[in-house]
Amino acid sequence: MTIELTIRPTCHHHRINRELLIRRSQWLMQQNGVQDHNLSLLLVDDQEMKALNLHWRNKHKPTNVLSFPSDEGAHPGFAQLGLKELGDIIISVDTAAREAAQHNETFHHRLIWLITHGLLHLLGMDHERSEGEAEAMHAREQQLLQQLKHAKDSTMTHLAINVDHVATIRQARGITEPDPVAAAAICELAGASGIVVHLREDRRHIQDRDVHVLRETIKTKLNLEMGAARDIIDIALRLKPDMATLVPEKRRELTTEGGLNVSGQKKKLGATIEEMNQAGIPVSLFIDPDSKQIKASHAIGATFVEIHTGRYCDATSEQERDMEFELIAQAAEEAYDLGLRVNAGHGLDYQTTARIAALDTIEELSIGHAIITRAVFTGLDQAVREMQKIIREASRIA
Ligand code: PXP
């Protein structure tokens, strides 16, 4: 099957995730038994759509989607040629964006709905022919979108919880309470898929004792966040966490400030990955949503990348946030397509997580500060469950 997706330059301000649209279209074609056919998808702006709508339907306004089956108006002999061409679906992304806002759904969710609608037209359904046909088409549309939701359920984004800041509170007094090990157990009981701790060189929060007890007690998965420094690597090799996330570490920073410059230190990081892999520890590289870093991570044999969501979370305007979000979506897509497993995290909270969790290229989110902060007021169990609910609901749509 070939899906030819053309996006007009006039649509580029919408930052369209083309890989997602292609994968969803492939899935829809499979569900309708036409996976061996070719499909053309054209994304245009309202102005072009208005001209097309006037030309083909004599209507003086843009519409959301137009479909042109390849055999429409063709000579009867056309069918005998056995061509596997479905035809063209043309979508106005301006209208799709407006409709998404009106229906309070994501832009890509709306685009996928429009592709579904257009595809059913290409397959011969038509809601304009009769009421009965309108009902049948609507029912099929709903069925497909429901199936898509279930298909996504099986790839639901996981939540790994970073309990560093439980240790931060303990270290403020230099005593033994609160214990991040107890916190990890509560997180697991509340449904977390993994626990993350950052053993910093300055030991400002998590201590050596913590990682060793956590290694013994964690039932899900221990992700050790660490700088690629010799003494920490040696600890990791002995500890054997379920995975390690390499981050840049600066003594004077309040928290990890940016992603790793993988492309600038391929040799050093490649050697660390090799060493860790030989000890059976898969490695994730914490990187900014940047194609150069993704390619370098892949080239040096990382199993995962964790995409830095900090700039998206810190955005001070909707426009900036949308822009940062699209960078993350595209980076996740690129990494996923290269065969990397993709996690994301940093700065995510109860408002910013849903959009990221809706990206089905992302396997796991690493969230700490927001959950521990909320736990001060609601208790840890509830804080984890509330975040789980956001992730569960978000990864079912889009
Ligand atoms: N991922 C990485 C690589 C981090 O360094 C951190 C912070 O420790 C997180 C995720 C979690 O960030 P936050 O505490 O802001 O949720």
Residue-by-residue DSSP string for 123-186: TT--TTT-HHHHHHHHHHHHHHHHHHHHHHHTTPPEEEEE-HHHHHHHHHHTSS-S-HHHHHHH
Mean pLDDT, residues 263-286 taken together: 96
Task: Check residue 398 and give its pLDDT.
Answer: 45
Note if 103 is an active site residue.
no
Among 198, 308, 334, 364, the active-site one is 198
Provide CB contacts within 8 A for 67, sequence distance 6+.
Answer: 87, 88, 89, 90, 118, 119, 121, 122
Ligand 1 neighbour 348 (Cβ under 6 A): yes
Ligand 1 neighbour 162 (Cβ under 6 A): yes
Q: How far is the CA of 300 from the centre of ligand 1 (A)?
A: 23
Ligand 1 neighbour 245 (Cβ under 6 A): yes
User: The whole model's pTM is what?
Assistant: 0.68
Q: How far is the CA of 333 from the centre of ligand 1 (A)?
A: 21
Task: Check residue 148 and give its pLDDT.
Answer: 81
Token pair 């800041």 in the structure block, residue: 165
Distance, in Å, from the CA atom of 210 to the CA atom of 233, rounded to the nearest integer, reads 16
Percentage of residues in the chain with pLDDT exceeding 70? 94
Task: Check residue 253 and give its pLDDT.
Answer: 78
Annotated binding site for 3-amino-2-oxopropyl phosphate: 162, 173, 347, 368-369
Instruction: Label residue 295 left, alpha or beta by phi (over 0 means left) and psi (-120 to 50 means alpha).
Output: alpha
Task: Check residue 81 and give its pLDDT.
Answer: 62
Q: Does pLDDT of 143 surpass 60?
A: yes
Provide CB contacts within 8 A for 250, sequence distance 6+.
Answer: 257
Per-residue pLDDT reduced to its tens digit, 164-207? 999 999 999 999 999 999 999 999 999 999 999 999 999 999 99
- 3 state DSSP class of 391: helix
Ligand 1 neighbour 347 (Cβ under 6 A): yes
Task: Check residue 162 and give its pLDDT.
Answer: 98
Q: Does pLDDT of 12 surpass 60?
A: yes
Task: Check residue 75 and give its pLDDT.
Answer: 64
Laid out side by side, the sheet with 65-69 consists of: 2-7, 38-44, 85-92, 65-69
* Nearest Cα to Cα of residue 256 among 326, 173, 164: 164
Provide CB contacts within 8 A for 330, sequence distance 6+.
Answer: 15, 17, 289
Q: Does pLDDT of 153 surpass 60?
A: no
> How deeply is 272 buried, as exposed, middle or buried, from its count of CB atoms within 10 A (0-12, 13-18, 19+)?
buried
Domains and CATH numbers, the chain: 2-150 (3.40.390.30), 158-397 (3.20.20.70)
Q: Does pLDDT of 3 surpass 50?
A: yes
- Greater confidence, 396 or 57? 57
Q: How far is the CA of 75 from the centre of ligand 1 (A)?
A: 62
Instruction: Label residue 141 left, alpha or beta by phi (over 0 means left) and psi (-120 to 50 means alpha).
Output: alpha
Distance, in Å, from the CA atom of 359 to the CA atom of 207, rounded to the nearest integer, reads 34
Q: Which residue's C-alpha comes closest to atom 4 of ligand 1? A: 346
Per-residue pLDDT reduced to its tens digit, 218-271? 999 999 999 999 999 999 999 999 999 999 987 777 777 789 999 999 999 999
Note if 253 is an active site residue.
no
Confidence of residue 80 (pLDDT cuts 50, 70, 90): low
Distance, in Å, from the CA atom of 325 to the CA atom of 355, rounded to the nearest integer, reads 8
Q: Which residue's C-alpha comes closest to atom 9 of ligand 1? A: 346
Task: Check residue 217 and give its pLDDT.
Answer: 98
Give strand ranges (E) for the chain: 2-7, 38-44, 65-69, 85-92, 158-162, 194-198, 222-226, 243-246, 283-287, 304-308, 341-345, 364-367
Q: Does pLDDT of 367 surpass 80?
A: yes
Confidence of residue 397 (pLDDT cuts 50, 70, 90): very low
CA 95: distance to chain centroid?
A: 24
> How deeply is 130 buried, as exposed, middle or buried, from its count of CB atoms within 10 A (0-12, 13-18, 19+)?
exposed
Provide CB contacts within 8 A for 68, sequence distance 6+.
Answer: 56, 87, 88, 90, 122
> Cα dist. 78→3, 83, 118, 126, 332 in Å?
21, 8, 22, 21, 42
Note if 198 is an active site residue.
yes
CB atoms within 10 A of CB 343: 26
Name the amino acid, one letter, at 151: A
Query: If you average pLDDT over every residue of the chain, what do you get?
Result: 92
Task: Check residue 21 and give its pLDDT.
Answer: 86
Q: Which residue's C-alpha comes closest to atom 6 of ligand 1? A: 346
Ligand 1 neighbour 233 (Cβ under 6 A): no
Strands 65-69 and 158-162: unpaired
- 3 state DSSP class of 388: helix
